[in-house]
Structures are given as structure tokens and as C-alpha cells.
Amino acid sequence: AMLHSPLALSLLLIAVSSNLAMAIKKEKRAPQTLSRGWGDEITWVQTYEEGLYQAKKSNKPLMVIHHLEDCQYCQALKKVFAENEEIQEMAQNNFVMLNLMHETTDKNLSPDGQYVPRIMFVDPSLTVRADITGRYSNRLYTYEPQDIPFLIENMKKALRLIQTEL
């Protein structure tokens, strides 16, 4: 049969290995490990300390997203967050971005408890903006998928507060 000829076999091997190379290359590009699905185009910092440093240095607010893999509310929020162009654009250009799957030692990041999802803003002056809250009085810093417009407003507020208060 045709397949026993050395040429056909080597062509087959080349096809297989180049597909493999492509698959490996793709794997390297995405998912970007630090994004954890919140936006692969965003430059994420790795730690809260690094986030504070970058916020101060760049004069941009730090946005901290607390979440967990097995939390369905986090997954639902993450999906709309990652798909929203306005949020992604602001996150890429105007914020230092951090998403965390563990709590920090800074108690200011959990003013009303350690629930997830929880989104806090920290000013470049390194003040945690506990005054930038979501819609729910029992969990001040949580957002649901339908609250995306509200989150966008809060991101704009975090940017505006820097300009007026510093």
C-alpha cells in the first residue's frame, strides 16, 4: 500500500509533529496563567504587594478581584467581565489589575467579610477605597453578572477620585 513508502511515512510524521508544535505553542499563549480567565489581554500583577507598588509607581488605581475556582457566582461574573469590551479596555489601560484566589493579610481588603466574588479598589495613595461599593448592603463589594454597568461606573469612579483627591 501507499503508506509503506518512506516518503508518505515521513510526510505523515511531519504533519503530526507540526500539529503537535502548534498545539504546544497555543498552550503557551493562552490561558495566560495570571489572568485565570478574567482577561488574557490584561497585564496582571502576581501579588497584592506588587499591585500596591505598581499603583503607586504608575499613579493608577489597583483593582483587586477575590474569587475561587469552584464558586459559581465567581464563574458567572468572570464570564461577563472577560467578555465586556469596556471593562477589558479600562483594565488594560487605566488600572493595575490583580485577581486573587486567597486572602491577603491586609484586613482593609475585607471590611465586611471574606466572601467571593469581591472587588475592591485601592488608590495610588495606597488607600483602600471602602467607599466604592456595589449594590448589595449585606455584601458591599460583590457584583452579579447583571451588575456589570454598575461595576463600570465604579471603575470610572475609582479613576475620577484619584484626579480630584490627590
Which CATH number fits the domain that encloses residue 122?
3.40.30.10
Q: Is the omega angle on the peptide bond into residue 117 within 30 degrees of 0, that is, cis?
A: yes
| Residue 32, in any domain of the structure | no
| Residue 114, in any domain of the structure | yes
| Residue 18, in any domain of the structure | no
More confident residue, 11 or 93: 93
At 100-133, the pLDDT tens digits run: 999 999 999 999 999 999 999 999 999 999 999 9
Cα–Cα distance between 38 and 67 in angstroms, integer? 10
| Residue 75, in any domain of the structure | yes
Provide the percentage of residues in the chain whose pLDDT is more than 70.
79
Cα–Cα distance between 9 and 22 in angstroms, integer? 20
DSSP 39-100: -TTS-B-SSHHHHHHHHHHHT--EEEEE--TT-HHHHHHHHHHHH-HHHHHHHHHT-EEEEE
| Residue 112, in any domain of the structure | yes
At 45-92, the pLDDT tens digits run: 999 999 999 999 999 999 999 999 999 999 999 999 999 999 999 999
**pLDDT at site 24:** 55
Number of folded domains that form the chain: 1
Amino acid at 27: E
Confidence label for 9 from pLDDT (cuts 50, 70 and 90)? low
| Residue 11, in any domain of the structure | no
| Residue 63, in any domain of the structure | yes
pTM across the whole model: 0.80
| pLDDT of 42 higher than 60 | yes
| Residue 68, in any domain of the structure | yes
**pLDDT at site 33:** 81
The answer to whether residues 99 and 40 touch, using CB atoms and an 8 Å cutoff, is no
Give me the domain span that covers residue 95: 48-159
